Amino acid sequence: MRLARMGSMFPTRLSFLRSLIRRLAAEKVTVTRAVWQMDAGGFGHAVYSLRLGGHEYALVAVSSDLPADQRTDRVIATAWDSAFVLYDGIPEAAEIDRIVATAPRQEAARFTERDLILSRANKSLRLFAHVTQALQEGRQPDPEMIRNVGYLMRTTAVYGNGKFGIADRHLIAQRPGLEGPFAAEMLTVWLIRHFTHDLAEHVGGGRLDRALKRHLGIGNATGLGMAPFLVTHPVLLNNWMQARETALARVRALPRLTSAQQDRLHLLADRVAAHLREWQVPDPAHHARIVALRGDWETACNALDLSGLRPLDAAIHRVRAASLDVQELMAGLILEPFGDLVDDLAATMGDPFGPLCAPLPDTVELRARIARDFRWALAPDYDAPEACGQFWYVSAAKQEPRLGRRFAEEGADQETPLDIGRRVKALYQDLEGENAPLSDFLSRHPDHALAAERVAMAGRYPYGEIRDNLIAEDCLPIDMLRCKLAFFGAAKFDPKSDRWTRITLCQGAPLADELGPGADDWWLPVFAS
């Protein structure tokens, strides 16, 4: 639960997109394009529908002619190439008209509880123009450009859980197919990808080669708004990590591997190497990290011996001295062929009940728990400038989380309580010499209520805390982003700073008409033209 490890994570077969695709394939879901009202330039609207878990859903997509001077991926944008709503049911004409009018306005509009997810996206202009021009000329686009970019559009937000009037999560949390974490959001992203393919083919007047189309995923530009979620949802974070660690324990306990299993793992290891070769980013520091990872992975694979006793446990031990990137890749590799052992754990990754733990009885027990479970929080000197140099706050203009420089910027008086480590240490210090019921102590020190709650939760949710100082000068929010995005199923991280990144989702995922046998084999996909 250290930031450096969290910032080295890769998607696995337990990632939410993978779980969703397995569910779609198991139910033999079919996607129907019920409405397509687009002009020759690709501007208009479309409606896609499907049935999942006994419920019908529709994606309403609105494509707009966006002036060049309004194009930006930043959260301050007020216009986008496309806007989307995942609708609960099959919308009638009046509802489609309402969504077509409101979806492009995003935050400036208000929605209803029939609207489950709200999203928007911008085109990758260079690739979209190249693809459509190639199709217009009766040829396929350049495979190298497809490989290098990997998506026709990138989303800049995929909103759920009540934002701007859309449905609260609890309304769909028990629905078959959508009960998993972010399942509705992932369904939306997969359908948006389908729309981008259709839009390019419509404007280009031709059909994309299936292999090229499969490699065109959905890009995403994600910033600080995503990071605090991991701190404010400790039960979810615990459940995600607990499922992952349980899965790893199961496969590491396998006494022997069959020849077929060994061959499969070696093939997947080769796929990883090819995927790493295709992973190109402009940032020099991250590019150097990827180059180092390629060499380190080759070294790890050369030492991969799967013929002995408990070979997967041995594989993990062999990379203990390697980089965290190699360790995390190896964890993903050894899970991949063993869906029969681990896929059931995807059902444990939600949080249907919230925290289920009793408060501690008295101050003596509370202080003992801190000493036992929060040594990482007690270590820093939070009065030192380097240990408190940043602060989290919420932007008044966009109502989005932001990170400020405590000694160079105003706003620290509006700090949001993501400084769990500092708060726990302050609680520990004030508990010295106390011997009273916890309720009495908190009535005298209500400012310690949050810290006391987190300490009580740690006994039941051991993976619920990020065990690092989140206000330190050297805290890198990109590590929190990568952890969460890896659980989504993201790959090919392309950091633009330590505060935002571009990623690719659904690359290599089955197309809407490919939800059959073999639909789940797209971990760390490799381009095939």
Nearest to 121 by CA among 84, 78, 149, 165: 84
Find tokens 């350049």 and name the residue.
142
Tell me the three state secondary structure of residue 453.
Answer: helix
Distance CA 14, CA 492 (A): 18
Distance (Å, whole) CA 269 – CA 44: 44
pLDDT of the residue at 358: 85
Tokens representing residue 115 in the block? 């609207």
Q: What count of other Cβ atoms lies within 10 Å of the Cβ of residue 511?
A: 17
pLDDT at 76: 66
Label residue 186 exposed, middle or buried (CB < 10 Å: 0-12, 13-18, 19+).
Answer: buried
pLDDT value at position 497?
87
Please give the Cα distance from 12 to 239 (Å, whole number): 15
Report how far residue 407's alpha carbon sits from residue 450's, in angstroms, rounded to the nearest whole number: 25
Closest Cα partner for 487 from 277, 184, 243, 122? Answer: 243
Host H or E run for residue 122: strand 115-123
CA-to-CA distance for 419 and 470, rounded, in angstroms? Answer: 6
Residue with tokens 């969703």: 20
Contact by Cβ (8 Å): 235, 454: no
Global pTM reads 0.95
Residues counted in the chain: 529
Tally of CB atoms within 10 A around 298? 13
Token couple for 156? 């800049």
Cα–Cα distance, 482 to 476 (Å, whole number): 11
pLDDT one digit per residue (tens) for the chain, 529 residues: 999 999 999 999 999 999 999 999 999 999 999 999 999 999 999 999 999 999 999 999 999 998 887 877 666 678 999 999 999 999 999 999 999 999 999 989 999 999 999 999 999 999 999 999 999 999 999 999 999 999 999 999 999 998 899 999 999 999 999 999 999 999 999 999 999 999 999 999 999 999 999 999 999 988 888 899 999 999 999 999 999 999 999 999 999 999 999 999 999 999 999 999 999 999 999 999 999 999 999 999 999 999 999 999 999 999 999 999 999 999 999 999 999 999 999 999 999 888 888 889 999 999 999 999 999 999 999 999 999 999 999 988 777 889 999 999 999 999 999 999 999 999 999 999 999 999 999 999 999 999 999 999 999 999 999 999 999 999 999 999 999 999 999 999 999 888 889 999 999 999 999 998 889 999 999 987 5
**pLDDT given for residue 74 in this prediction:** 66
User: Which helix (H) or strand (E) element contains residue 394?
Assistant: strand 390-394
DSSP 89: S
pLDDT at 18: 97
| Residue type at 516 in one-letter notation | G
pLDDT score, position 223: 86
Calpha distance 494→506 (Å, rounded): 16
pLDDT for 518: 85
Q: Do 446 and 460 touch, CB atoms closer than 8 A? A: no
Measured CA to CA, the distance from residue 375 to residue 307 in angstroms comes to 40
What is the amino acid identity at position 247?
Answer: A
The DSSP result for 127-193, as a single string, is HHHHHHHHHHTTSPPPHHHHHHH-EEEEEEEEE-TTGGGPPPGGGTTTSTTT-STTHHHHHHHHHHH
Task: Classify residue 355 by its DSSP letter.
Answer: -
Strands (DSSP E) found in 271-356: none
CA distance 69 to 13: 41
CA distances, 67 to each of 72, 132, 203 (Å): 11, 19, 18
Instruction: Name the phi and psi angles at 34, rounded to 5.
Output: -80, -30
Return the structure tokens found at 416. Answer: 């949001």
CB of 422 closer than 8 Å to CB of 382: yes
CA distances for 48 relative to 43, 91, 148, 297, 517, angstroms: 16, 10, 29, 41, 23
DSSP 28-87: T---EEEEEEE-TTS-EEEEEEEEETTEEEEEEEEE----GGG---STT----SEEEEEE
**Tokens coding 269:** 């290891």
Q: What is the pLDDT of residue 94?
A: 98
Q: What is the Cα–Cα distance from 216 to 123, expressed in whole angstroms?
A: 12
Give the whole-angstrom CA distance, residue 102 versus residue 165.
12
Quick one: tokens of 294?
A: 């390629």
